[in-house]
Structure 1
C-alpha cells in the first residue's frame, strides 16, 4: 500500500520540478567551477575534498578526536575561504554581469609544440645576444588569471618576431611579465609577486625576484633574460637556476611547457580558457 501511495504522489509536475531543481543545482556548480578554473582557488577545492573524505573516514572508524578536528576546520574554514578568496568571488560576480562565463577560446594541437619551442628559442637567443631584458611565465596546472588580469591582454599566436617586439626597450609593453597560457601569448606587462627570499643575490634585479616569487606561489615555469649580462635564468618550484644554455632551455621547455589538448567543440568547463 505504501508503494502504491508513493507512485500516486509522483505526478508529472513533481517529476518535472525535481528535474529542474537538479539541473539548477548542477548549473550553479558548473558556473562556480568555470569561474574558479584558472585561479589558485581550484587548488583549494582539492583540499576541501580531502578534508570531506577524511571527515567521512574518521566518522566511519569512530575516531572521535579526529572527527572533531575535521568538524572545526569545516566550521571555520568556509569563513576563512570567503575572506581569503574575496577577489575571486568579486571577479565571479563581474564575469556573470558581463556574461563572460560562457566564452571559450580554441587552441592548437600538440603537433605545433616543436614550432612554438623553436620560435621561443629564436626570440630568447636574439634578446640574450643583445641584452634585451625579458620575463616570460609559462602557465602550468595552477592558473595565473589573477596575475594576467594585471597586464595588457594580447591573446596572440606565438611568433619570435612578436616576442622580440614586446620586450624591445622603451616600448609600452616591455616592462613587466609576459604570460604564456598553452600555445598563446595571454598578456604582457603583467605584475608578479616579488620574492622576499634572502637567498637571491643582491646583484640580481626585479625580474629575477619576480620570477622566483611567482614560482613560490604557483607551479609556473619562468624564463628570465638579464638586461645587464644577457644571461638566461629559469625558475620553478621556488628555485632559481642561472646561466642556462639554449640547449638546456629547450630540454626544460619539453619538460615544463606542455600544450593542452584541443578544446572540445562547443567549449565548456573542460575547454581551454
Structure 2
C-alpha cells in the first residue's frame, strides 16, 4: 500500500527492543505496521513493548492517546502477512546466520515492488545479499535508539543495490518516518557504528583506568562536544550486551583498536546490561541515577 511513491504499510520482523522502537517510531509517523514474530508468546511480548512505549508518548504529551496508533499495528506469527508491505525491515538480533535466514524467508513472500531492508548496525550487507534471489533490492536501514526521538536513519548501500532502490529509500526515510537519511557504502561498522564503537569503548577504558567518573566522562562529551548524551549513558540505554559483538566484529575486520574493553565484557557476563536490567555504568533502579 502506498501514498504516491511512499509506502504507508511497513513490515517489521522482530519485536525486541530495537524492533519495537522502530514500530513505535513508524506508528507515531502515521504508518500502518505489520510486526512479525516467531511465536505467539513473542508477538504478545512485542505488542506489550510497543504499547508501553506509546503510553509513554502520551505521558510526554507527544500524542493524545495510544489507541489510535496501536490500532494501526498488526502483530502476527504468519510469515506471509507482511506480503503487501514495503519496505520490510528485518530487526532480529545481531547474528549473521539468523539475519540470512530471516531475510530469505521475508524475500519469499514480499512483492516485487517492496524493498528488503536490514537494521544491522555492523554486519556486511554484501555477505547477507549472497543468500538472496534479488540482492539488488537489499539495503540497510539502520535506525537509532530511541527511534521516535532520533532524527537519523543510516541507509547502507551494498555492492549489488540498484540505484532505484537507493533513491526510493532516501525518499521513504525522509517522507515516511520523517528522518534525515545519510547514505553510506557497505563497510565494516558503516559510519555511525564505527565512530560510536571508537568513542564508547575508549570512554569505558577511561572509566576502567580511573581517569574520571562515568558522570564526568559523559559531561565532557555532552557539554564539551554537544553530544545529546555521553557515551556511557548511551551504552546503558542501547544495552551493554549489544556492544561486545559489534566490537569483536570490527576488531576482526579493522584491527585490535576496536577490541571490547574488559570492564564491558565483565559487566555483560555479570548480567549488567544497562537500563533494561537495572544496572550498567549507572544504577537505573533508583529514581536518581548513580554510578554503578
TM over 0.5: no
Query: Which structure carries more helix by proportion?
Result: 1
Higher-Rg structure is: 1
* TM-score for the superposition, normalised by structure 1: 0.27
* TM-score for the superposition, normalised by structure 2: 0.25
